[in-house]
């Protein structure tokens, strides 16, 4: 990160030994190491007395908060507005912005700052996160990502300022609230400077609409935003002109938003929505459907929701946002691909297709592997939380606790940030477990596996033997 800033400012880059060390690592390892360095540096800054109003933060709390911000999750063991000073909140916002831009962008900055060549393998990884084709160089992608991010976040900050200024004590406070929540929303972080998140603005159309727009834009992915910006114009718009990736993302996102809104209305009509006016019911249901897409803001109390709503929330959080976006989860295209694969098998089709296009077999295989590894990570994380938080406590003595910890595990892995209120009560081991879940969820289990695996594949292949399935 320091090297990247030196590169941008025209200063002398890193020493040759550092450049050699960076080049010696594989792209996946560079990704993991640079992300770990960012979180560690952020945790050290949050431990400074200048970051907290109550003295230095404990290491575990600082690491948890830095990971949650860098992984744009939003889970917190402390009250950000009450505990952190303006400097601490600035550190938090910087981590959110860097994490939202994506670890691939940070890795590209490090490589450019070291004046090293990206290489063929690095190009493939970077382009896989930000574009489905090889038409753009990493530097072009970096500039496009920053340009889109700045424009959308400034627009969001302006709209929020129109609402926050009349209710804020000073102009600087209104500006800070607007900028903070705009960046937090677009990066799908979910950190708020209000103790009740955005519950006090539950019926405010401007705040709900602006935050929802920022969350959706940040969760679509930079490729989709760029393609929609370039092809969706008055008089020239055609659905067929869009790429298969964009059509899948838009369709899956629209379906999840609509389904989430309708199901929340149906399941919470006589529960958390019962006392609200009619327009607030629909607004709150829509906002909850949006925020489940890895955002973490809330205008309703998730701890008071019905079991059916929480089960639906688990599915939505696990799916998450779209590839190359600020959000986490297994991604909308993964879920859509597996759904299409199941549909094609039921029809007896040999290939998986959508919108008159065939999805490559390698993409279907990648989606299957990602889903399996994600399930394994969530299951293992939930088991650790159950052991650390409840030990050998009998089920009859801990009713409801299992759902709370499962919700926490899925929320951390999907980098959502929603909680049923158990985050501040986690033990030290439980906080480390959630920290690791956020880290793995943000980078993706496949990226972690590649980074830790050997670079050389086995030179042989065993003989095949058929097995019975089903």
Is it the case that residue 133 has pLDDT exceeding 80? Answer: no
Q: Is residue 196 in a domain?
A: yes
Residue 120 domain-assigned (yes or no): no
- Residues 243, 246, 251, 254: is their CA dihedral positive or negative? negative
pLDDT tens for 5-61 read 344 344 444 444 545 554 555 666 777 788 888 999 999 999 999 999 888 899 999
Residue 247 near residue 221, CB atoms below 8 Å: no
CA distance 150 to 262: 33
Give the three-class secondary structure for 308: helix
Provide DSSP, 34-101. Answer: HHHHHHHHHHHHHTSGGGBTTSSPPHHHHHHHHHHHHTT----SS-HHHHB-HHHHHHHHHHHHHHHH
Within-domain flag for 3: no
Query: Which has the closest alpha carbon to 418: 289, 276, 331, 231?
Result: 289
Report pLDDT digits (tens) over 254-298.
999 999 999 999 999 999 999 999 999 999 999 999 998 888 898
Residues near 34 by Cβ (< 8 Å), separated by ≥ 6? 1, 103, 106, 107, 110
221 pLDDT exceeds 50?
yes
Please give the DSSP secondary-structure letter assigned to residue 111.
Answer: H
pLDDT score, position 34: 80
Q: Is residue 127 part of a domain?
A: no
Q: How confident is the model at residue 233, as a pLDDT?
A: 61
Q: How confident is the model at residue 468 (pLDDT cuts 50, 70, 90)?
A: confident
Q: What is the pLDDT of residue 146?
A: 83
* Res 8: pLDDT: 39
The domain tally of the chain equals: 1
Residue 209 is assigned to a structural domain of this protein: yes
**Band (107; pLDDT cuts 50, 70, 90):** very low
> What does the chain come to in residues?
470
> Is 128 inside any structural domain?
no
Phi/psi at 160 (nearest 5 deg)? -70, -35
**Among 79-88, 132-141, 364-373, 422-431, where is mean pLDDT lowest?**
132-141
Among 255, 266, 348, 336, which Cα is nearest to 305's?
266
Residue 67, pLDDT score: 93
β-sheet bridge partners, residue 352: 359
Residue range of the domain that includes 218: 26-112+137-231+239-452
The token pair that represents 376 in the structure block:
């394994």
Q: Average model confidence (pLDDT) for the chain?
A: 82
For residue 44, with 0-12 CB atoms within 10 Å meaning exposed, 13-18 middle and 19 or more buried, which class applies? middle
The pLDDT tens digits for 393-429 are 777 777 778 899 999 999 999 989 888 888 988 999 9
Spacing of C-alpha 340 from chain mean position: 24
Query: Percentage of residues in the chain with pLDDT exceeding 90?
Result: 42
Residue 354 has pLDDT above 70, yes or no: yes
Lowest-confidence region among 78-82, 139-143, 189-193: 139-143
Q: Is 19 inside a domain boundary?
A: no
Q: Does any domain span residue 30?
A: yes
**Locus of tokens 């088991």:** 383
- Asked if residues 103 and 111 have their Cβ atoms less than 8 Å apart, the reply is no
Beta partners for residue 357, in sequence order: 354
Q: Output the pLDDT for position 110.
A: 47
Q: Which residues lie closer than 8 Å to 331 by C-beta, 6 or more apart?
A: 319, 320, 321, 322, 323, 370
* Helix 244-268 with 307-319: angle, nearest 10 deg: 170
pLDDT for 152-182, tens place per residue? 999 999 999 999 999 888 999 999 999 999 9
């Amino acid at each position: 990160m320091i090297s990247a800033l030196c590169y941008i400012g025209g200063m002398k880059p890193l020493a040759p030994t550092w450049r050699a060390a960076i080049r010696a690592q594989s792209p996946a390892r560079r990704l993991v190491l640079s992300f770990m360095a960012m979180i560690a540096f952020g945790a050290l800054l949050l431990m400074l007395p200048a970051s907290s109003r109550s003295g230095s933060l404990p290491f575990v709390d600082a690491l948890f908060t830095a990971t949650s911000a860098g992984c744009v999750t939003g889970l917190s063991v402390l009250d950000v507005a009450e505990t952190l000073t303006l400097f601490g909140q600035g550190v938090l916002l910087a981590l959110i912005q860097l994490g939202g831009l994506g670890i691939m962008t940070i890795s590209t900055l490090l490589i450019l700052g070291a004046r090293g060549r990206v290489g063929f393998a690095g190009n493939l990884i970077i382009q896989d996160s930000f574009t489905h084709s090889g038409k753009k160089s990493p530097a072009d992608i970096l500039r496009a990502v920053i340009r889109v991010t700045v424009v959308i976040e400034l627009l969001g900050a302006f709209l929020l300022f129109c609402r926050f200024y009349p209710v804020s004590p000073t102009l600087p406070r209104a500006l800070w609230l607007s900028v903070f929540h705009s960046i937090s929303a677009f990066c799908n972080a979910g950190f708020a400077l209000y103790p009740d998140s955005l519950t006090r603005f539950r019926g405010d159309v401007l705040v709900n609409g602006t935050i929802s727009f920022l969350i959706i834009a940040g969760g679509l992915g930079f490729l989709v935003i760029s393609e929609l910006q370039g092809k969706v114009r008055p008089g020239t718009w055609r659905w067929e002109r869009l790429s298969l990736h964009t059509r899948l993302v838009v369709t899956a996102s629209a379906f999840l938003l609509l389904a989430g809104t309708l199901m929340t209305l149906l399941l919470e009509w006589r529960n958390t929505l019962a006392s609200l006016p009619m327009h607030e019911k629909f607004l709150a249901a829509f906002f909850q459907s949006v925020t489940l897409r890895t955002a973490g803001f809330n205008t309703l109390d998730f701890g008071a929701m019905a079991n059916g709503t929480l089960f639906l929330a688990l599915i939505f959080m696990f799916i998450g946002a779209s590839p190359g976006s600020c959000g986490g989860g297994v991604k909308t295209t993964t879920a859509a691909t597996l759904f299409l694969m199941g549909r094609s098998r039921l029809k007896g089709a040999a290939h998986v297709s959508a919108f008159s296009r065939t999805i490559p077999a390698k993409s279907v295989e990648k989606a299957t592997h990602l889903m399996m590894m994600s399930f394994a990570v969530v299951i293992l994380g939930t088991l650790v939380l159950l052991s650390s938080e409840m030990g050998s406590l009998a089920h009859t003595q801990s009713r409801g606790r299992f759902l709370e910890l499962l919700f926490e595990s899925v929320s951390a892995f999907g980098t959502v940030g929603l909680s049923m209120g158990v985050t501040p009560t986690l033990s030290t081991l439980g906080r480390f477990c959630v920290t690791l879940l956020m880290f793995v969820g943000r980078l993706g289990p496949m990226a972690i596996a590649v980074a830790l695996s050997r670079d050389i594949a086995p030179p042989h292949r065993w003989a095949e033997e058929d097995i019975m399935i089903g």
